[in-house]
Amino acid sequence: MLTACESEARLRQAHEVSAIQELKTIASAEVQYYSQTGHYGGRFAELGIAEPDPDGGYVYRMAMSPAGFEAHANPVEFGKTGSRCFYADQSLVIRQSTTKDSAGPNSPAVQ
């Protein structure tokens, strides 16, 4: 039987795995959108994907520029719903931060 701490750790890990997958989906949609339109999208609906539900433990935000895009996934409650922040851009590399600070283009890649 799982203890409460083990159960919370497994749920946190599941949220993190889900956030990584969501960022992969977002990044792939952005690259596809760019190949079709010549620019990146700034909204989930524009990319033809649903905005991820924060009940999954993470909140997502996107920004675009002529040079690229960035997508962030940060825990709803750092340390409880997730203990890493994630980032993706047109390089398709998922990056992470193990602090409350958002991950960015210079953060280490997820292994």
**Global confidence as pTM:** 0.92
Q: Which domain holds residue 70?
A: 4-97
What pLDDT band is residue 17 in, cutting at 50, 70 and 90? very high
| Residue 83 counted as domain residue | yes
Q: Which position has the token pair 């909204």? A: 43
| Residue 107 counted as domain residue | no
Q: Is the pLDDT of residue 6 over 70?
A: yes
| Residue 28 counted as domain residue | yes
Query: How high is the pLDDT of residue 19?
Result: 97
Helical (H) or strand (E) element with 48: none
pLDDT digits (tens, 9 = 90+) for 41-99: 989 999 999 999 989 999 999 998 778 999 999 999 999 999 999 999 999 999 999 99
| Residue 104 counted as domain residue | no
| Residue 105 counted as domain residue | no
3-class DSSP string for 16-38: HHHHHHHHHHHHHHHHHHHHHHC
